Amino acid sequence: MFSRRHAIAVRGPASAAPPLQAQSLIGALVCLLFPSPCKLCGRDLRHAGRLPVCATCLNEIRPPASEACGRCGHALAAPLDEGSRICLHCLAHPAEYDGAVCAAAYEGRGRELIHLLKFRGVRTAAEYWAQRLAALTSELPETPELVTPVPLGKKRQRERGFNQSSEIARRLAKKIDCRYEPHALERQRETRPQSELPLADRQRNLQHAFAADRQRVAGRSVLLVDDVLTTGATARAAAQALCAAGARRVMLATAARADLHQAAPRVKEAVA
């Protein structure tokens, strides 16, 4: 039986939260009187949103610069024929994943917002990317049955304290009303950071790096989520592990896509 003190705590009006409209007004007033700076440009924020980035910076985030292959997500150098969205590489060597969407170009404010999440720990940035990706999932060949992130190695996870791809994937799964499986895919071994390697060596670095849980993925269509697509080496290795565990289909969603021609000179910044 509840004590009198517990009963009062549960139903007392003093503990009730302010109405949402009042919270919004209070937040707007605080923002007006005590503005905090935008984390990207430093200008005063004039809104009370959870993401500490101004509307001007968000509006500067651009979609991928060119049309992408409908299978692997890489830029199409030129149309193969009218209406075709499959790149020459996928025609010759089909990717392990079939269908890909990407929210932005990995440049300018888009890259800065990825870094805000990944290196500065502003996890509310993951909500922005999840929202952008959710709007694109209708372009996938089918509705996924589960969503899973590309996992980090244990050492990197300890150093960072979180997995940026997991932060995006969890929110995306909720937005599209899909099952979220954070452990459908695991790293079997530590690998060198992809950003430290020449583009040509990245696939070799990830051989046998991933293993998937057959009980979780067998017979299901899986949406694999990562923060940035550069060479596609990470996505291919992860998708290969999911397919080996019996996934019926693997699709890919990435927050941003790097232009390989621009990424090569600054490999240290690229995040595959």
pLDDT at position 88 over 60:
yes
User: How wide is the angle at C-alpha 260 spanned by C-alphas 153 and 138, nearest 5°?
Assistant: 75
In which band, very low, low, confident or very high, does the pLDDT at 104 lie, cut at 50, 70 and 90? very high
* 61-88 core/surface letters (b: 16 or more CB in 10 A; e: else): beebeeebbbbbbbbbeeeeeeeeeebe
Closest to 144 measured CA to CA, from 224, 255, 70: 224
- Would you kindly state where each structural domain of the chain is located, as residue ranges? 17-60, 62-266
How sure is the predictor about 83, in pLDDT bands with cuts at 50, 70 and 90?
low
pLDDT at 87: 74
User: Would you place residue 266 in the very low, low, confident or very high pLDDT band (cuts 50, 70, 90)?
Assistant: very low
- The tens digit of pLDDT for each residue in 183-203 reads 999 988 766 555 555 555 566
The string of pLDDT tens digits covering residues 117-135 is 999 999 999 999 999 999 9
Check whether 97 has a pLDDT greater than 80: yes
- Distance separating alpha carbons of residues 16 and 87, to the nearest angstrom: 57
Distance CA 197, CA 194 (A): 5
- Spatial separation of the C-alpha atoms in residues 245 and 252, rounded to whole Å: 17
The topology (CATH level 3) of 62-266 is Rossmann fold (3.40.50)
DSSP string, 177-203: T-EE-TTSEEESS----GGGS-GGGHH
